Structure 1
């Protein structure tokens, strides 16, 4: 057993169905790990992580950057996609081929062929950070799935229903796991429980989450 195996509860390659149009692809991103980490370093150098505020003025506990034609931002005017980084005012970095190919392969494996992501939101979670229940509904084409890649520390993914009050499933996500949801599950509420402090042997005390969307 390798050190990385200690952060997994299932074998890489397992296909875990969590809804009629949703699944977890266990360890799907591990084969291209070095390329992903190199691409992430390049993106961060060009578009640094930043902490954004909700429209109500409260700082989010995660830090955010993006790549692709569109990136995600928030201020008192609301949540929205933007073509430029709010601080640098430069276009977001182009989506690296390694990231785009991973997203397309994952979507195809999950039953959503032809996925063409134009936005990748990248969240950095430190111990204690969380993401409250929300829907991804600001994309123009809701027929396209969401592809979410987990790197670093393990987390508990909350996967709810089409109404906020519906019961949520608690799904563990580990380094290299990819979650995909679309079709009848596309607008299900989801979030991340507060991150426990269990440093990962490669990325340390952080979790990086890449979320690919067809935003335009």
Structure 2
């Protein structure tokens, strides 16, 4: 495992070894059964190419009215709890006593991407966002606090964890593409990204 910094992001390469990655996939399966993946609509029409769901007290949601956190799945039931092994990663890398209130699970299929954006729907930006990569490689784009500036790109591999905090908490970032089939972790391929956030 190694840690590097780019534009204020802490990137922990190889934080999860293959056995830990497989174990984490297993604890995610009950979440996906209880709160199936869905494709959010976006303001202006259309749907996101990434499918998603959530765990914790809040889930992230988007539709024609905008982006926000909600307290139940689109089908009307509560979000499942965040699994303890996921919380352990948060506590190990942040040292914070406060637990995250949302774990957003994004699934990237072959042609999915995530445009550059800021994570700014939370009430208190002093808490970091912790991002866990599982499965196929994702080309991560990192910028500054203003849209349209210079960016850096880095391939995130399965088992990498990124901590977005401090001065970089509101930096723009996104995923340009994935290298489909680069990992054998998910039987059907693709990338899972977990992001842990304090919401309130």
Superposed pair shares fold, TM > 0.5: yes
Partner of 2:132: 149
What whole-Å deviation, never above 9, does each CA across 1:137-168 have from its counterpart, x for those lacking one? 01011100010000000011000011011111
Structure with greater proportional strand content: 2
Question: Aligned partners of 2:4, 2:182: CA distance in 1, in Å?
Answer: 25
Partner of 1:215: 199
The reply on whether 1:79 has 2:67 as its aligned counterpart is yes
Q: Do the aligned partners of 2:57 and 2:81 also contact (CA within 8 Å) in 1?
A: yes
Q: 1:101 aligns with which of 73, 77, 88?
A: 88
Unpaired stretches in structure 2, ≥5 consecutive residues? none
The reply on whether 1:167 has 2:167 as its aligned counterpart is no
User: Offset at 1:79?
Assistant: 0.6
Match of 1:37, SS state, is helix
Q: Do the aligned partners of 1:27 and 1:175 also contact (CA within 8 Å) in 2?
A: yes
Structure 1 residues 176 and 208: CA distance shift in structure 2, 3 A: same
Unpaired stretches in structure 1, ≥5 consecutive residues? 1-12
Partner of 1:24: 11
Partner of 2:102: 119
User: Offset at 1:76?
Assistant: 1.3
Match of 2:179, SS state, is coil
The reply on whether 1:186 has 2:137 as its aligned counterpart is no
User: Offset at 1:133?
Assistant: 0.5
Q: TM-score, normalised by structure 2?
A: 0.94
Question: Aligned partners of 1:197, 1:168: CA distance in 2, in Å?
Answer: 23
Question: Aligned partners of 2:93, 2:193: CA distance in 1, in Å?
Answer: 15
Question: Aligned-residue CA RMSD in angstroms?
Answer: 1.3
What whole-Å deviation, never above 9, does each CA across 1:79-105 have from its counterpart, x for those lacking one? 100000012x01100111111111221
User: Offset at 1:14?
Assistant: 0.4
What whole-Å deviation, never above 9, does each CA across 1:11-40 have from its counterpart, x for those lacking one? xx10111134x2111111235323311111
Q: Count residues in correspondence.
A: 198
The reply on whether 1:35 has 2:23 as its aligned counterpart is yes
Q: TM-score, normalised by structure 1?
A: 0.88
User: Offset at 1:201?
Assistant: 1.4
Match of 2:178, SS state, is coil
User: Offset at 1:106?
Assistant: 2.2
User: Offset at 1:107?
Assistant: 2.2
